[in-house]
Structure 1
Amino acid sequence: ETPESRAKRQRTEHYQIKHIRWFDGRGIRNSPILTQNLNGPCPLLALVNALVLSTPGSADTALIETLRSREQVSLGLLLDAVFDELMSGRRGGAAQELPDVSELYTFLVTLHTGMNVNPSFVKPPASSAIHPALRIQPGGFDDTREMRLYRTFNIPLIHGWLPPSESRAYAAFDRIAKTHDDSQLVQFQEEELDAKLRSVGLNQEEQRMFEDVHAIKEFLSRWPTQLTDFGLQTMINSLKPGEIAILFRNDHFSTLYKEPRSGKLLTLVTDAGYSSHDEIIWESLVDINGQNSELFSGDF
């Protein structure tokens, strides 16, 4: 497949649209959302739904109008509508300040298949794509080119795969592996350190490195769903009532909503299997393994 034929095929792919009624903090309103296609809950789907739900109910945008009048939408038409939304200035002026807006459009095209992100386990740097209004910062990401382009959307992208700041794991991450990619690399040193420990012993610096690697491995194995109890509580505390964000978890992206009356975190249900179920809109995010999660209608 040539790049040209692949681009043509991608632009003719379609997303199904579900029309929902939901409570936005002021009242019940109607909104069109995308449901997932064969690629699963990709960052483009989560982004489009976050843009739609975070738009005031009184506003009519090209993106909402494109979705409202259809039962399905092609990827090409969807990308054009999203691009128009970004360049309109309603999401801030970051997109207009880019030196090459064609780079942003190319980035949008790639979002329907995925996006490379590198979660940070420690306090994110000031330049990370955390929404500035968040008082207590949830998990951030390494400041890559993709993240810089993503910031033009002005939608918080967060994760809850976090150790408590006073924990042994946090200290280990802070010293030797601030991000997920770093944590994978340092584990290659364990075998070498173990062999040296058994033969001639380790000096003080090597011993601390050995202990830090163990603490990191223990953390990663204990929280395999990429969410911790501490991280979940941090997200609850950081998001404002009625705020829309995008959650990265289990290598997928989902649209997140803090219900303004109960204060619960809810993820938007976009699985195609529920597309014909008008009464199923949200799933509660109340624990790390989903044992106590519940499905809700738009008015809860």
Structure 2
Amino acid sequence: MNLRWSLKDITWPDPRVGGLRRELKIVCQSENGPCSLISLVNVLALRGSIFLDPSRHHVSYDYLSSLIGDFLIERPQDSKLSLASALSILPTTVEGLNLNPSFLSPSAFQQEGDGGELALFELCGVRLTHGWVVENEEDRELMGRVGTWDAAQGVLVEGQVAEAELEKEGRITDEGLKKIEDANRVRTFLDSTRTQLTPTGLKALSVSLEPQEVVALFRNSHLSVLYKRPAAESEDPEDPLLFSLVTDESFGSEPEVVWEPLADVHTSTGFVNSDFITSSTAGGDIAGLSAEEVGRRADIENGAGEQDLDQQLAKQLQSEEDAQAAASLATSDRRQPSSSSRRSGIPPTPGSPPAGARQSIEQGRGQFAASGSGGAEELKRLGEKEKKKDKKGCLVM
């Protein structure tokens, strides 16, 4: 497989040596990258079970699968799960795994087929967890009968069939009515827990993890790395203890963006660095900025000069004036040109922006000069505005 992903340097309080910090590399996830493979590799790297070559800046699938395969073969196994099944499922991690969480426990996943997905993580000694746990007794009774995500989809289908029968026949049996009621309740539960995390599930995760434990977290149909920080290391008892490893490659050039606190079901509380201190960059606090904005700021900090920004803005303004001129020419074919337009026969200097563009550039400089790097950022934003209209971005959490 001709696939590769970038690496990022972080420091890590290694629990094997009493929390002493060591430098290591983690794998970053590109757009729609293989989150299951990357989360497994990063958990093993944090635990010291595998080592990513410190001289590398990128890794391929072949390199990562070789590391995992060697680790599995050399690791003593006392499980009844099949090593062959685990190794056979490894290539599918590039496209995603078929995981079926249960709504009753943060550690419960139903085995599918020969269990290769679960076997891969279990044989690696990596716990799979989730926080998609029912909130109240009424939901617990229903979802306890339903059990899992896949079974919930079956309940929804049965409800749709029963509704179609009612619409067609004008009547329905008690059994059919019960199917419709169950489907509506299941749909309400799923709609109210779209983040695949509930307050009860969040508390259950915090209780089920040991201090300094690293696990794979299933959330939003995505696998990430979850770490529980020891409470003794926190200065404030209200500080979050659960942290998700930030692996999106948009933050690859942000050494201070390492972890994201998992403290709320619906909203993000920003980012922290390797010392679990709120993150900031040379341009200011990054909390609340999109991945695109952080990447754009990194580009500026890495040397995008004002001259380049001026050229981009001039090209944009030139393009806009050309479009306006073309529209005017199309209209002028149907009417007599004015004397002023007949006198205007001096073409602009090739390669230079028109007067309007030059004036706008100078105005832009004056308007944003007081804001330092922010001015350069604004100029760049203006210069790339049209280009971004056709560009689709995707931040993978």
**Structure whose CA Rg is larger:** 2
Q: Secondary structure at the match of 1:298?
A: coil
Q: Is the contact made by 1:17 and 1:67 (CA closer than 8 Å) also made in structure 2?
A: no
Of 84, 87, 109, the residue aligned with 2:73 is 87
Q: Paired residues, what number?
A: 261
For residues 220 and 98 of structure 1, the distance between their equivalents in structure 2, rounded to whole angstroms, comes to 32
Corresponding residue for 1:265? 242
- Is structure 2 residue 222 aligned with structure 1 residue 238? no
For residues 196 and 73 of structure 2, the distance between their equivalents in structure 1, rounded to whole angstroms, comes to 34
- Alpha-carbon distance, 1:187 to partner: 1.1
- Is structure 2 residue 63 aligned with structure 1 residue 77? yes
For residues 274 and 287 of structure 1, the distance between their equivalents in structure 2, rounded to whole angstroms, comes to 21
Of 188, 211, 219, the residue aligned with 2:189 is 219
Corresponding residue for 1:151? 122
Identity of aligned residues (%): 33
Corresponding residue for 2:255? 278
- Alpha-carbon distance, 1:98 to partner: 6.0
- Alpha-carbon distance, 1:85 to partner: 1.5
For residues 98 and 208 of structure 1, the distance between their equivalents in structure 2, rounded to whole angstroms, comes to 39
Q: Is the contact made by 2:134 and 2:143 (CA closer than 8 Å) also made in structure 1?
A: no
Q: Using a 3 Å threshold, how does the CA distance of structure 1 residues 264 and 221 change in structure 2: closer, same or farther? A: same
Of 133, 142, 158, the residue aligned with 1:189 is 158
TM-score by length of 1: 0.79
Point out the more displaced range, 39-48 or 224-233.
39-48
Q: Secondary structure at the match of 1:23?
A: strand
RMSD of aligned Cα (Å): 2.3
- Is structure 2 residue 88 aligned with structure 1 residue 118? no
Q: Is the contact made by 1:67 and 1:73 (CA closer than 8 Å) also made in structure 2?
A: no
Q: Is the contact made by 1:268 and 1:281 (CA closer than 8 Å) also made in structure 2?
A: yes
* Aligned positions of 1:172-183 closer than 5 A: 172-175=142-145, 177-183=146-152
Q: Secondary structure at the match of 2:53?
A: helix
Q: Is the contact made by 2:83 and 2:119 (CA closer than 8 Å) also made in structure 1?
A: no
Q: Secondary structure at the match of 1:189?
A: helix
Where does structure 1 lack aligned partners over 5 or more consecutive residues? 1-9, 56-60, 124-137
Point out the more displaced range, 213-222 or 190-199.
190-199
Q: Secondary structure at the match of 2:185?
A: helix
Q: Using a 3 Å threshold, how does the CA distance of structure 1 residues 272 and 147 change in structure 2: closer, same or farther? A: same
Corresponding residue for 1:295? 271
TM-score by length of 2: 0.61
Where does structure 2 lack aligned partners over 5 or more consecutive residues? 235-239, 277-397
For residues 99 and 221 of structure 1, the distance between their equivalents in structure 2, rounded to whole angstroms, comes to 37
- Alpha-carbon distance, 1:232 to partner: 0.9
Of 67, 73, 79, the residue aligned with 2:53 is 67
Q: Secondary structure at the match of 2:111?
A: coil
Match for 1:13: what amino acid? L
For residues 225 and 120 of structure 2, the distance between their equivalents in structure 1, rounded to whole angstroms, comes to 19
- Structure with greater helix percent: 2
1:163-191 deviation per Cα after TM superposition (whole angstroms, max 9, x unaligned): 03x5212211222x211111111112224
For residues 160 and 60 of structure 2, the distance between their equivalents in structure 1, rounded to whole angstroms, comes to 50
